[in-house]
Amino acid sequence: MQHSKGWDDFGKPPFNFYKGFEEFMKVFPDEDRELYPEMFKLPTGVYEVALPRPLGIAFEEREVGRGVIVTECVEGGNAAESGLIEPDDVLIAVTAVKAPGAMSRFERKLIPCKSLDYDTIVGAIGTNESPRCDNVVLQFMRPSACDEAQVDTFLEFFEVPPTHVFRTN
């Protein structure tokens, strides 16, 4: 799925630092809201939470290399204090920071992670560090309350085309 702005502005303000779904989507025109109304709300059974580190979440791979589920929220930890996250919730997306280099600039993106392995997901969480980041934004789905195919369609919107990521001009 593509939106009217295309990906030309992706990586530039306001798309260079993901703060949350509402903030990310507010820049799109009414035309997009009319054409793709399902993209302007989180799917049923999906929620987003911004937590300071340490998160206080124990994750386990769903199956090797295919995302993670919550096994436990540490008592008194940031996840437990949020009151939202429950065991068996599936992490579907997380913010990750791309540090500036010779050909790039600082960016924090929301990356779908249902098809990433445990180490990659934990590594992405770890990139959300002070002083630029005071939290990690995570999106979860509650399997008992959602249509996973609908969630997969929703996540396609956040997949950055490889041609954009590696473009240097």
**12 found inside a domain:** no
CATH number (domain holding residue 119): 2.30.42.10
Sequence-distant contacts of 53-60: CB under 8 A, at least 24 apart: 53/78, 53/125, 53/128, 53/129, 53/135, 53/136, 54/78, 55/79, 55/125, 55/136, 55/138, 56/80, 56/81, 57/85, 59/91, 59/118, 59/121, 59/122, 60/118
- This prediction has a pTM of 0.85
Q: Does the pLDDT value for residue 54 go beyond 90?
A: yes
**168 found inside a domain:** no
| pLDDT digits 0-9 by tens, 69-82 | 999 999 999 999 99
Q: What percent of the chain has pLDDT over 90?
A: 65
| pLDDT digits 0-9 by tens, 94-144 | 999 986 665 556 789 899 999 999 999 999 999 999 888 999 999 999 999
What is residue 157's predicted lDDT score, i.e. its pLDDT? 80
**1 found inside a domain:** no
**123 found inside a domain:** yes
* Domain containing residue 117: 21-162
The mean of the pLDDT values for the chain is: 85
